[in-house]
Amino acid sequence: MTTATTGRTTPKGVVGTAHTRVEGVEKVTGAARYAGEIPFADLAHGWLVLSTVARGRIISVEDGPVLAMPGVRAVLHHGNAPRLETHFQGVIGPPDPTTTLFQNDRVAHLGWPVALVVAETSEQAREAAESLLVHYEEEPHDVDFRGDRPEAYPVDGFAPGVVEKGDLEAELAASAHVVDVQYTTPEEHHSMMEPHAAAARWDGGRLEIVDSNQSTTWVQSDLAQMFSLEPSAVRVRSEHIGGGFGSKGVRVHQVAAVMAATVLQRPVRVVLTRRQMFPLTGYRSPTSQRVRLGADAEGRLRALEHRSVSQTSTVHTFVEPSAGVPRVMVDAPAHHTANLVVPLDVPTPTFMRAPGEAPGSFALESALDELAEKCGLDPIELRVRNEPARSPVSGQPFGARNLLACFHEGARRFGWADRDPRPGVRREGRWLLGTGVAGASFHAGAGPSTALATAEADGSFTVRISAADIGTGARTALTLVAADALRVPVDRVRVHIGDSDFGPAMFAGGSMGTRSWAWAVDAAAEELRERLALGATIPPEGITVRSDTTDAVRRLAQTERHSYGAQFAEVAVDTATGEVRVRRMLGIFAAGRIVNPLTARNQLVGGMIWGISMALHEEAVRDRASGGLYGGDLAGYHVATHADVPLVEADWVEDHDPDDPVGIKGVGEVGVVGAAAAIANAVRHATGVRHRHLPIRPDRVLMARETGATHA
Amino acid sequence: MAPTTSSAITLKINGQNYPLTVDHRTTLLDALRERLDLTGSKKGCDHGQCGACTVLIDGRREVSCLNLAVAAEGREITTVEGLARGDELHPVQQAFLDLDGYQCGYCTPGQICSAVAVIEEHAAGWPSAVTGDVRPEAGPPPLSAEEIRERMSGNLCRCSAYVSIVQAVSRAADTTAGQRRTEPAGTEPLGSGDTGRTADAEAAA
């Protein structure tokens, strides 16, 4: 037994100082175990079989010969699979029928899951899965995404479908300068390095799942409903996660593993292959966006229209809300925004890092650049003149809107004042040089969370919260937050995350994870410290305090709360090959309180590099004939690698919101917002050619040069 | 008679012998991860596109997903688990830790194994696609950021920690060069294949 030993004075806190990752040694030595690496006795391996047609009906599955193959223990398909609950309200809505496996004979896209082969070894399972004959009645499919599809309809997703004020046509007609342009962005895939993996087993009447996900409680809750179990009968753990970016929610691998473990009554692991990830784990829809801007002679907006069309599957609706960006960034007397969707015979898209904001900011921030040029204004000055005092849509005041501070600090450090605005005049050998700028914003929301803080008898402290560290540094950030709240050194605090038994908590998404969890951890640790300050004696089992921020989140003052940023890029364009090289990038952000500068900077820079990747490389091309992707793997789908990435710098300005008790805004997504637009604007400045279609491939650069067109 | 589909082999990994019987289809990566509980080497794509499974085979970096386990017998295999000396991290590991050369950590073992080999390759005078002067007598070019980026480009990091990875490799290369100058002859840094080349590099430095 020990007595209370939290600090009595207030030492200088560790929040705001750089701290290496608390799990860092495990990660650099290979000791950190990810979901597919946890050993289980008597483990069987499941391998999914995906459809070879893009639309139709399964006539038969010839499982007999496969069941006779060495090591094969089961073949699950729609003819024999256990029945699942398919109509329920999950954590983020009704389940995507892609995940409620083998419940009917319909095939909704190429790569639809049609069977699971379970065998003693992964080699046996794979060979058997690849040998399984499935007969289909094929139907004509349609994967032809275009912005002018007449069946596109507006959808209220996690942002409203249509928001309109003012007379758009009248204001456009009265404008001195008008921009009316169409932008497109391609299908993009998360492509995190760790493929989705889960192992499931029944243990004393309880279902245990080791998984790689962005929220153990989300997966627990949805799987419990799907398999008609009490949530308390399901435990999901996810300690180390090899990247998520929005894709690691409820997916087929968990459902397949649970189904097989239930049928066979032994542990089963299902790991998706890289090629299976492309049709089965979500992606960012392609977008087609029309932006119309009208401004008076001084560059003040009179009219704004942003209309974005994206695609979804025929079985589930997800809308990429790209037209949400101007609802935060710029106001106009006539302000019309709409998010529409077209259902096609394609996989269901999903949240991908800055959903809506990433493609939407490419369109809007490019269009503002075009307008600045028409008005003869510096693009930063155009934004200064159009900085809104209140939210264009809600009319609410902004909480800590430091967008202009980002532009000004960035301009100073980037050397923007010396910029010659004329396009296509800077040459260095065969390279044309240019610079571009764009703005960024991302919503700073919060979700209710619970946390447990324990004073241990040995004088240390343990914090438990079902948070997820998908690479963000959340585990380390929460350790710093807890240490400060307890007023003890960091090395006396251990934070355990990734276990649904720790209670409900926000998922790692929407840049809300660390903000939401820190709130709960701070509350529990503060209360524990107050309790110990009374001189409590600590029993062997420790003293535990539980916090729940549900009421506090509800009471949060309703303002428009966002993080902001200004992105600056310098590019060189090879006029002979069409190659675009980013030479340097600088992002200045207003993202509230920065908990750990080391990991926060890394995340912001990582987001900006996603912008390079989006601007120049990423493009999943769908083949109309087969309905699938050309080259759906990491050789065919290009993401930026070392040689594509120059010195990218991120920094931040003071950003304090007095009405926000947490002050953390999250840095996971704002870094990618506007980054592609800054690069496209720099390409315009370098070459004189405006590229409105991503990615800016060499062939597009060359074609534009040859035809003199402003797009390719 | 049924064809033989498995073989008894011995793999030498991190200086230790591991006898095992493997299915002939088993890749070196799967043998490490599924059979020997050496899960530090990661499976990101399983067909040689991402670099997460990079290990050192006879001192050179290779993707273990494109090597069959049966073909790796008799070769010296070093995985990320074999780089540290007890609790003392390899300079590359220490630099990744200190400079935050990662985020999710899944590509990290591959990046680190590649970086160990990059430093060796560079010190041995091997040019890259961005090396200006490739004449043998020119010696190793400065290990600039551009050289590191070029040489590390087979290792994808979707979290995009590239900037800090390059800084970490640069710092580790400096540390390693310092160690080469101070270490007594005969103590070979882990992961190096050929002491002759190391000695040449020392002379060049």
Residues A449-493 have pLDDT tens digits of: 999 999 999 999 999 999 999 999 999 999 999 999 999 999 999
Beta-carbon separation of B97 and A599 below 8 A: no
Rounded Cα distance, B152 and B161, in Å: 12
| Chain B interface mutation, best of A585, A642, A647, A649, highest count of B Cβ atoms under 10 Å | A642
pTM equals: 0.95
Q: Give every CB contact of residue A494 below 8 A, 6+ residues apart in sequence.
A: A460, A461, A462, A463, A479
Residues A653-709 have pLDDT tens digits of: 999 998 888 899 999 999 999 999 999 999 999 999 999 999 999 999 999 876 554
**Contacts A471 to B, Cβ<8 Å:** 102-105, 159
Cα R_g (chain A), whole angstroms? 26
Q: How far is A595 from chain B (nearest CA, A)?
A: 15
- Chain B contact for A130 (CB, 8 A cutoff): no
- Chain B contact for A707 (CB, 8 A cutoff): no
More confident call, A107 vs B137: A107
Could you give the angle at which helices B91-99 and B108-123 cross, rounded to 10 degrees? 130
Sign, CA dihedral A228-A197-A603-A291, equals: negative
Residue A246: CB atoms within 10 A of its CB come to: 24
- Residue ranges per domain, chain A? 2-32+447-555, 41-354, 396-445+557-712
pLDDT at residue A39, rounded to an integer: 95
Secondary structure, 3-state, chain B:
CCCCCEEEEEEEECCEEEEEEEECCCEHHHHHHHHCCCCCCCCCCCCCCCCCCEEEECCEEEEHHHCEHHHHCCCEEECHHHCCECCECCHHHHHHHHHCCCCCCCCHHHHHHHHHHHHHHHHCCCCCCCCCCCCHHHCCCCCCHHHHHHHCCCCCCCCCCHHHHHHHHHHHHHHHHHHHHHCCCCCCCCCCCCHHHHHHHHHHC
Task: For chain B, positions 123-182, list CB contacts with chain A under 8 A.
Answer: 145, 148-150, 152-166
Rounded Cα distance, A113 and A119, in Å: 18
Rounded Cα distance, A704 and A707, in Å: 5
- Arithmetic mean of pLDDT over chain A: 96
Mean pLDDT of A554-583: 95
Nearest of A37, A42, A9, A684 to residue A370 by alpha carbon = A684
Q: Are A63 and A132 in contact (CB under 8 A)?
A: yes
Task: Using CB atoms, pick whichever of A33, A39, A643 lies closest to residue B153.
Answer: A643
Residue A104: CB atoms within 10 A of its CB come to: 11
Q: Which helix (H) or strand (E) holds A312?
A: strand A301-312
pLDDT at residue A328, rounded to an integer: 95
pLDDT at residue B203, rounded to an integer: 33
* Amino acid, res. B24: H
Q: Are B71 and B64 in contact (CB under 8 A)?
A: no
Inter-chain Cβ pairs, chain A and chain B, closer than 8 A: 172
- Distances in Å between the Cα of A249 and the Cα atoms of A34, A91, A383 are 16, 10, 37
Strands A398-399 and A560-574: parallel
Rounded Cα distance, A143 and A624, in Å: 6
Task: Using CB atoms, pick whichever of A27, A195, A472 lies closest to residue B108.
Answer: A27
- Chain A contact for B105 (CB, 8 A cutoff): yes
When pLDDT is cut at 50, 70 and 90, the band that residue A147 belongs to is very high
Q: How far is A594 from chain B (nearest CA, A)?
A: 16
Task: Using CB atoms, pick whichever of A29, A34, A605 lies closest to residue B93.
Answer: A29
pLDDT at A54 over 80: yes
Q: How far is B188 from chain A (nearest CA, A)?
A: 20
Q: How far is B59 from chain A (nearest CA, A)?
A: 18
Beta-carbon separation of A31 and B103 below 8 A: no
Cα R_g (chain B), whole angstroms? 17
What is the token pair recorded at A63? 């499982």
Q: Are A46 and A118 in contact (CB under 8 A)?
A: yes
Residues A586-596 have pLDDT tens digits of: 999 999 999 99
pLDDT at A2 over 50: no
Q: How far is B79 from chain A (nearest CA, A)?
A: 9
Residues A209-255 have pLDDT tens digits of: 999 999 999 999 999 999 999 999 999 999 999 999 999 999 999 99
Rounded Cα distance, A190 and A278, in Å: 9
**Contacts B44 to A, Cβ<8 Å:** 193-195, 242, 274, 634
Residues B40-87 have pLDDT tens digits of: 999 999 999 999 999 999 999 999 999 999 999 999 999 999 999 999
Q: What are phi and psi of A569, to 5 degrees?
A: -140, 145
Please report, rounded to a whole number, the percentage of residues in chain A having pLDDT higher than 90. 94
Beta-carbon separation of B161 and A606 below 8 A: yes
Q: Please state which of the ranges A12-16, A66-70, A215-219 shows the lowest mean pLDDT.
A: A12-16
Rounded Cα distance, A505 and A519, in Å: 11
pLDDT at residue B180, rounded to an integer: 78
A389-392, long-range: CB < 8 A, 24+ apart: A390/A331, A390/A560, A391/A327, A391/A328, A391/A560, A392/A326, A392/A327, A392/A328, A392/A330, A392/A331, A392/A332, A392/A335
Residues A333-392 have pLDDT tens digits of: 999 999 999 999 999 999 999 999 999 999 999 999 999 999 999 999 999 999 999 999
- For B91-204, which CATH superfamily applies? [2Fe-2S]-binding domain (1.10.150.120)
- Residue ranges per domain, chain B? 6-82, 91-204
Q: Are A254 and A215 in contact (CB under 8 A)?
A: no
Residues A509-560 have pLDDT tens digits of: 999 999 999 999 999 999 999 999 988 789 999 999 999 999 999 999 888 9
Beta-carbon separation of B34 and A606 below 8 A: no
**Contacts A602 to B, Cβ<8 Å:** 100, 103, 159, 161, 164
Q: How far is A120 from chain B (nearest CA, A)?
A: 12
Q: Which parts of A334-413 are beta strand (E)? A: 334-343, 398-399
Residues A591-619 have pLDDT tens digits of: 999 999 999 999 999 999 999 999 999 99
Beta-carbon separation of B49 and A633 below 8 A: yes
**Contacts A585 to B, Cβ<8 Å:** none
- Chain B contact for A473 (CB, 8 A cutoff): yes
Mean pLDDT of B157-176: 97
Nearest residue of chain A to residue B92 (CA atoms): A28
Q: From the options 3.30.470.20, 2.30.29.30, 1.10.645.10, 3.30.365.10, give the CATH code of A41-354.
A: 3.30.365.10
Beta-carbon separation of A274 and B112 below 8 A: no
* CATH fold for the domain made of A2-32+447-555: Aldehyde Oxidoreductase; domain 4 (3.30.365)
* ipTM of the complex as predicted: 0.96
pLDDT at residue A707, rounded to an integer: 58
Q: Are B47 and A273 in contact (CB under 8 A)?
A: no
Rounded Cα distance, A547 and B82, in Å: 43
Nearest residue of chain B to residue A35 (CA atoms): B39
Rounded Cα distance, A268 and B185, in Å: 51
* CATH fold for the domain made of B6-82: Ubiquitin-like (UB roll) (3.10.20)
pLDDT at residue A5, rounded to an integer: 52
Q: How far is A272 from chain B (nearest CA, A)?
A: 10
Task: For chain B, positions 62-81, list CB contacts with chain A under 8 A.
Answer: 79-81
**Contacts B161 to A, Cβ<8 Å:** 602, 605-606
pLDDT at residue A7, rounded to an integer: 52
Look up the CATH number of domain A396-445+557-712: 3.30.365.10
DSSP A185: E
When pLDDT is cut at 50, 70 and 90, the band that residue B138 belongs to is confident
Active site residue A560: no
Mean pLDDT of A31-41: 97
What is the token pair recorded at A618? 């990423």
| Phi/psi-derived region of residue A171, left when phi > 0, alpha when psi is between -120 and 50, beta in every other case | alpha
SS3 content of chain A, % helix, strand, coil (to 5): 30, 25, 45
Residue B2: CB atoms within 10 A of its CB come to: 4
Catalytic one of A370, A373, A649, A669:
A669
pLDDT at A710 over 90: no
Bond preceding residue A695 cis, omega within 30 of 0:
yes
More confident call, B191 vs A107: A107
- Chain B contact for A396 (CB, 8 A cutoff): no
Beta-carbon separation of A605 and B107 below 8 A: no
Q: What are phi and psi of A614, to 5 degrees?
A: -65, -40
- Chain B contact for A490 (CB, 8 A cutoff): no
pLDDT at residue B184, rounded to an integer: 54
Q: How many residues does chain B have?
A: 205
When pLDDT is cut at 50, 70 and 90, the band that residue B91 belongs to is very high
- Chain B contact for A592 (CB, 8 A cutoff): no
